Structure 1
Amino acid sequence: LFTKMMGQTLKEYYTEQRFARAATCLTDGMRVTEVACYLGYRSIHSFSRAFSQHFSISPREYQKNPANAVIKKEK
């Protein structure tokens, strides 16, 4: 039912919302380590890798220029 109404799976929706929050935190000036912790990542490396896979840009580069981000669709 969720997939039918939203056009994406619950996992895809959750991931999208999580990274949208990460992007907001980064543009609001939070440090990358703070954002990683805030989102429940155990390491900055894990967060950076996941963020980079989602946006095709590292969290630090995103802070410098969010316009360079490209969201990759999950399969």
Structure 2
Amino acid sequence: MLAQVCNTSVRTIQNLFAGMGTTPTAYILERRLRRAADRLVSTPDASITDIAFELGFNDSAYFARCFRQHFGVAPRDWRAAR
């Protein structure tokens, strides 16, 4: 899909991301998790589940696992620390 939008080949997209040391899927996940981290702090009244769903996660437990793996703390602990 990225290759189509950019009007280039799939291999070109793969090479670009390889140059950054990642894959398209990992890059997108990392960006979504960073947006979630920002939202956890900027909208303290929003539920963690709502934030996860808004950012495209279909399962709040999966979101929490990904978040903990990336940042080293659970989303609620991230929010509480900031």
Mark yes or no: TM-score above 0.5.
yes
Q: Over alpha carbons, which structure has the higher Rg?
A: 2
1:9 corresponds in structure 2 to 23
Whole-angstrom CA distance in 2 between matches of 1:42 and 1:11: 16
Whole-angstrom CA distance in 2 between matches of 1:50 and 1:7: 19
Deviates more, 1:34-43 or 1:50-59: 34-43
1:73 corresponds in structure 2 to none
1:52 shift after superposition:
0.9
2:81 corresponds in structure 1 to 65
**Moved segments of 4+, more than 4 Å:** none
Residue segments in structure 1 that go unaligned for 5+ positions in a row: 67-75
Quote the sequence identity (%): 33
Counterpart check, 1:51 vs 2:67? yes
Deviates more, 1:51-60 or 1:35-44: 35-44
- Which digits, 9 at most, give the CA deviation of each residue in 1:13-70, with x for residues without a partner? 212211111111101123201111112222221211111111110000000114xxxx
1:10 shift after superposition:
1.6
1:33 corresponds in structure 2 to 49
Deviates more, 1:17-26 or 1:28-37: 28-37
1:9 shift after superposition:
2.2
When you count helix as a share of all residues, which structure comes out higher? 2
Q: CA RMSD in A?
A: 1.7
1:71 corresponds in structure 2 to none
Whole-angstrom CA distance in 1 between matches of 2:17 and 2:25: 10
